[in-house]
Structure 1
Amino acid sequence: MKPKRVIITGANSGIGKAAALKFAEEGHVVIMACRNIKKSLPVQQEISKKTNNSSVLLKKLDVSTFNSIEQFCDEIKQEFDHIDILINNAAYFNHGSDYKLSDDDIEITFATNVVGPFLLTHLLKNLLSRSDDPRVLNAGSNIIKHFLNPKKEIDFSNLRGENVNDPAHSVYINYRNSKMALLMLTFKMADFFKPEGIKVNSIQINGATMSEESLQKIKPGWRIIARFQNLFFRPPEYTADLYYRLCTSIEYRNHTGIQFNHRAELMRPAVTEGGLLTDIKQALGSDVYPSYADRKDITEIVWNRCREMTREYITLDS
């Protein structure tokens, strides 16, 4: 396979690190896009040495901050004439933390998990379009299964600090909402970028073994549960291999606007009126995603909110 140029956000730990290692092992040019350079430098050096790949590069990128995204993209445009793969892997989940705004006054979870990937992908559109097989992969989560409940809705009312002291604030709920919004963006971006030949897909991650560092971000009570879950989660390398397969295999070359499960299988929208047994089967299985993700009206709200928030950086015709 001809070496590809791949950008992986959040590539200094967990699945992102494992993915950077996988692509480096296969001889590709890996651009590790990370917020903390000091923390990430030893990881870059480790991967480069372990794979004997001198094309493992480290670039500063805070996906929650528009200026950082713009600076990163400007640097990439100066160094490369095209990019083949973009993996929007970075995500914010600081369990139990207080309500927090990004530098652009957007709720930090939504800024990192939704608006950041939206802006980053759009700013890299021209470079991606010059690839002979451009692919974008968004890291989703099975947390969206909550939306199998028809009463669940994305709450857009507190994205700009409208109520920073909201007693109902929950990082968990914000994360759940953001991953559903990201899936909706995946479907919308797949259509939007189709004329450029850019394929945009999502993978529903069922969890990965958490590092001790990640566990420390969780409240003590929930940390016990997380440690127990670790006994059943797959290692990050498992999902990293799926990243690689979905982004390089000829098998998926023409797929776009797809939600893949943890076996790299195509998922379909859930049946909403199938009865109790169907509901249980869908909730426990990995064949369907909530039909809420196909709501065009909500998708347009997500899309337009992202457009509004990033209007100083990109101009879209539709």
Structure 2
Amino acid sequence: MEDKIVVITGANSGIGKAAATKFANEGYTVVMACRNLERSKSAQQEIIDATKNPHIDLLQLDISSFQSIRQFSTVLKDKYPKLDILIHNAAYLNHGEKNYLLSQDGIELSFATNTVGPFLLTRQVVSMLEKSEDARVLHACTTNIRHFFEPKRTIEFDNLQGEFKNERPFKTYKFYGDTKMALLLMTFKMADELKKQRISVNAVQIPAIKLSKETINKFQSGWRFAARIQNAFSAPRETMADTYFHICTSEEFKNVTGKLINDKRKVMEPSHYSKGLTQDIKQLMDQNVYPKYADDPENIEKVWDLCVSLTSNPVSRV
């Protein structure tokens, strides 16, 4: 399978590393797209040693930076003739952060990392994906989007560049949820845009998964303790890595595009439940549905237009 090439962002730890190991075990050429090369080299070597697959490449990528994305894409095109699978696994969530942090392009950091960056990277490598006989793109979404079952919950479209950083308190968990919902909305639109090129684009809903030590150590002290408690009840990372692999390689999902898939590998649908306390409870318990907010054409176009605008006319902080 060395002629099959997969790019995995954030492949140096957590689910990303587990997924890189899974694909390597299956004989794929794996490109680990990671922000910190020095910290990632040991993970690269561990995967090579564990799988006996020498075709594990490591390239620098800061998915929150337009410049880094373009540089990564140029290097990737120079090194490889095509791309079969692109997995947007990297994400930013700094538990306990109380300040608005902007990327070097002037975009709220979690939105730049979790939504706009994946949008730009996919567009940059479309020409490589077109050369594959079975090109697939996968976005890592989370159960956090289920907060949008709350009717009043919306994405703060007016505050994604810190416009109200001096007036609204920064809530890192809410912003993370907004970016993952935006990623799902973008998934639906991108799937339509790339249908003619025979490139499938799907999202996967990730439940509570054991966090790596590297990820936990990035949390502030109070959140670090809570993460360790959660880890005791969470599924191993390898289960999600297997799901990534199945969605991106199986015949079952070969012709599936523009869908949200849960960790049980079932295609999810927008919620059909009506209003009422009993209906709300059933809706929250049903892991086969997602909030109708994600199915709203206006919301989909809003995210798409914003991503197009930001990547076409980046605002530099320098």
Shared fold per TM-score greater than 0.5: yes
Does 2:94 align with 1:94?
A: yes
Letter paired with 1:137: L
Q: CA deviation at 1:49?
A: 1.6
Contact 2:2 2:29 in 1 (8 A): no
Corresponding residue of 1:19: 19
Corresponding residue of 2:227: 226
Contact 1:239 1:262 in 2 (8 A): yes
Deviation sequence 1:195-238 (CA, Å, 0-9, x none): 00000000000021012332233343333332222111111111
Corresponding residue of 2:307: 306
Corresponding residue of 1:316: none
SS of structure 2 residue aligned to 1:73:
helix
Question: Please, which moves more after superposition, 214-223 or 123-132?
Answer: 214-223
- Return the alpha-carbon distance in structure 2 between the equivalents of residues 238 and 282 of structure 1: 25
- Return the alpha-carbon distance in structure 2 between the equivalents of residues 2 and 188 of structure 1: 31
Deviation sequence 1:71-103 (CA, Å, 0-9, x none): 000111111121000000000001122210001
SS of structure 1 residue aligned to 2:252:
helix
Letter paired with 1:15: I
Q: Could you state the TM-score of these two structures normalised by the residue count of structure 2?
A: 0.95
Count of residues in Structure 1 that have an aligned counterpart in Structure 2: 313
- Return the alpha-carbon distance in structure 2 between the equivalents of residues 312 and 81 of structure 1: 29
Corresponding residue of 2:115: 114
Corresponding residue of 1:259: 260
Contact 2:139 2:183 in 1 (8 A): yes
Q: CA deviation at 1:167?
A: 4.3
Contact 1:64 1:112 in 2 (8 A): yes
Letter paired with 2:293: Y
Structure 1: 5+ residue runs without aligned partners? 314-318
Deviation sequence 1:237-281 (CA, Å, 0-9, x none): 110000001001111100000100011111010125153222212
SS of structure 2 residue aligned to 1:63:
coil
- Return the alpha-carbon distance in structure 2 between the equivalents of residues 295 and 110 of structure 1: 20
Contact 1:92 1:109 in 2 (8 A): yes
Letter paired with 2:141: G
Structure 2: 5+ residue runs without aligned partners? none
SS of structure 2 residue aligned to 1:109:
helix
Deviation sequence 1:158-192 (CA, Å, 0-9, x none): 21232333442111111000000000000000000
Letter paired with 1:130: K
SS of structure 1 residue aligned to 2:308:
helix
SS of structure 2 residue aligned to 1:7:
strand
Contact 2:96 2:223 in 1 (8 A): no
Q: CA deviation at 1:3?
A: 4.3
- Return the alpha-carbon distance in structure 1 between the equivalents of residues 3 and 281 of structure 2: 44
Letter paired with 1:193: L
Corresponding residue of 2:238: 237
Does 2:59 align with 1:59?
A: yes
Q: Could you state the TM-score of these two structures normalised by the residue count of structure 1?
A: 0.95
Does 2:106 align with 1:105?
A: yes
- Taking only aligned residues, the RMSD between alpha carbons, in angstroms, comes to 1.4
Corresponding residue of 1:28: 28
Match runs of 1:136-215 below 5 Å: 136-215=137-216
